[in-house]
Structure 1
Amino acid sequence: MLILRSLVFNILFYVNLALWLVLAAFPALLLPRRALLAVTVGWATTALWLMRVVAGTTYEIHGRENIPQGGIIVAAKHQSFWETFVLMTLFKDPIFILKRELMRIPFFGWCLYKFRMIPVDRGGKARALAQVTRRAKIELRDNHRQLLIFPEGTRRPAGAPPAYKFGVAHLYGELKLPCLPIALNSGLYWPRRKFLRRPGTIRLEILPPIAPGLDKVAFQALLQERIETTSDRLLAQGRAELAQLGLDPLANTPDTSRQQA
């Protein structure tokens, strides 16, 4: 049953995505950017409905009251594709830093341009970081947008050792804005590079913001400690629920979550 439900969900998820892109997102390219954001929220809502009805996966979001007004850096744990679209529904004017190659994808890339996402050339290193910083200052400090960033750079399996990059600390120091940590356990239910979609409740927790002004190294350590401690708690909670269904994916995996990568 789990395999069948996962198969049906995956098919419907990508058909739904294609329909929203062609029938709604493409026409919205001719309208103000807020219209495209409304389309994105609409698609995300239908995707979450499919997860609940087909895969049996619901979700909970705690800590919305911790979101400050104005431009902020949002630093989120990244375990699956799920949070990439759910985060778009939580903020008024979100923006991602993403690979430049994504901007070249027909339809999808055009939408990214409309959103004024910040492309980055991963091979550019120092020059690319300087360009990203300049764009981020304009979008966050001048336009009061919310920068969504994954501090580990890519998806990490649930329970994997943390691997935080220094890019978020650099932006924190340069932009001089609050940083909002976000913890979650989505990788238990929508694992990266896996076919299965497990039933249960994904939990996402928005933590109190870290005020600007800390030393970059101190900030990096504090951010990692807050996100990882809360994510570990959510992970344990999710595993306990999955274990009751005989679906705990980490049941025979050594606990290495506190080791350094």
Structure 2
Amino acid sequence: MMMFRSILFVIWMYGLMAVLGLLALPALLLPKSVTFWAISLYARGLIWGLKVFCGISVEIRGRQNMPRGTVLYAGKHNCMLDVFIPFLVMPAPAIILKQELMWYPFLGWYALKAAMIPIDRAGNTRTLKKMVAAARERADDGRQIVIFPEGTRTVPGAEPAYHAAGISALAKGIEAPILPVATNAGLCWPGRGVKRSKGTIIYEILPPIPAGLPRKELMSRLQSELETASDALVAEGRTVQGRLAH
């Protein structure tokens, strides 16, 4: 039964993307704020679909920790939903994403209009410099920069593998506080496969880490705070799933 419900959700997810993508086409000719609104509407649609089709609730905690102005949002990355949550908590996020996504119908069109930051994940020092320069340009426009420090989706509880070069270069380049965002999303929405599991997805915005810290201290603090909070959310999420199973 859960597989059937999960398939219905996947149909909803991509069907909604196509419908909204077509209906919002005029946004591509309008100010970026309209595009941000359209993406946030899609994010809310995903959350609605998770609840209706899969029995999955989504909760966002710690909104009071969100500073005003430019910030470097550093999120734990479990699944596709993580990419859309910033549009529900920030006015104008600029997400660092793999460049292949820019070729996807709808997704790529709106990412291009919203001036996201595509990168070659197999790139070199030159790629890093281009990413930092693009992030600085977006930050100068008052945007919020979003990066997933591990660079790819991970399984809840997996050994962390943070890429220090990218996030420390960004932190130095845009001179903004770092905002760790923990999650247990992978318990309900695995990074691979179709099947979803009932439960509660929680995103927790942690207190910001001040700008200007030495690289080693920054990475140690970021990883410690993000992993500790995410582990706590995973434990909480498994408790909820255990109750739902009875």
Q: TM-score, normalised by structure 2?
A: 0.95
- Find the aligned partners of 2:201 and 2:162 in 1 and give their Cα distance: 22
Deviation at 1:112, TM superposition (A): 1.3
1:33-65 CA-partner distances (Å, limit 9, x unpaired): 111111111111122111111111111111101
1:78-107 CA-partner distances (Å, limit 9, x unpaired): 011111112222101100111222223343
Report 1:239-250 matches (<5 A): 239-246=238-245
- Find the aligned partners of 2:66 and 2:155 in 1 and give their Cα distance: 26
Partner of 2:207: helix, strand, or coil? coil
Report 1:150-165 matches (<5 A): 150-165=148-163
Q: Is 1:222–2:229 an aligned residue pair?
A: no
Deviation at 1:171, TM superposition (A): 1.2
Are 2:18 and 2:106, in contact at CA under 8 Å, matched by a contact in 1? no
Q: Which residue of 1 aligns with 2:145?
A: 147
- Find the aligned partners of 1:103 and 1:200 in 2 and give their Cα distance: 32
- Find the aligned partners of 2:52 and 2:107 in 1 and give their Cα distance: 26
Identify which range, 218-227 or 95-104, moves more after superposition: 95-104
Listed as ranges, the gaps of 5+ residues in structure 2 are: none
Q: Which residue of 2 aligns with 1:136?
A: 135
Report 1:106-117 matches (<5 A): 106-117=105-116
Partner of 1:183: helix, strand, or coil? strand
Are 1:76 and 1:150, in contact at CA under 8 Å, matched by a contact in 2? yes
1:198-220 CA-partner distances (Å, limit 9, x unpaired): 11211111000000121011100
Are 1:181 and 1:208, in contact at CA under 8 Å, matched by a contact in 2? yes
- Find the aligned partners of 1:104 and 1:86 in 2 and give their Cα distance: 22
Deviation at 1:13, TM superposition (A): 1.5
- Find the aligned partners of 1:105 and 1:54 in 2 and give their Cα distance: 25
- Find the aligned partners of 2:3 and 2:104 in 1 and give their Cα distance: 30
Q: Which residue of 2 aligns with 1:4?
A: 4
Partner of 1:29: helix, strand, or coil? helix
Partner of 1:59: helix, strand, or coil? strand
Report 1:182-193 matches (<5 A): 182-193=181-192
What count of residue pairs does the alignment treat as equivalent?
245
Q: Which residue of 1 aligns with 2:121?
A: 122
Are 1:173 and 1:215, in contact at CA under 8 Å, matched by a contact in 2? no
Partner of 1:155: helix, strand, or coil? coil
Are 2:50 and 2:57, in contact at CA under 8 Å, matched by a contact in 1? yes
Aligned-pair identity in percent equals 41
Deviation at 1:193, TM superposition (A): 0.7
Deviation at 1:126, TM superposition (A): 0.2
Partner of 2:29: helix, strand, or coil? coil
Are 1:73 and 1:148, in contact at CA under 8 Å, matched by a contact in 2? yes
Residues 14 and 106 (structure 1 numbering): CA distance in 2 closer, same or farther, change over 3 Å?
closer
Q: Which residue of 1 aligns with 2:76?
A: 77
Partner of 2:57: helix, strand, or coil? strand
1:207-258 CA-partner distances (Å, limit 9, x unpaired): 00000121011100100000000000000011112123349xxxxxxxxxxx
- Find the aligned partners of 1:193 and 1:31 in 2 and give their Cα distance: 35
Listed as ranges, the gaps of 5+ residues in structure 1 are: 248-261
Q: Which residue of 2 aligns with 1:30?
A: 29
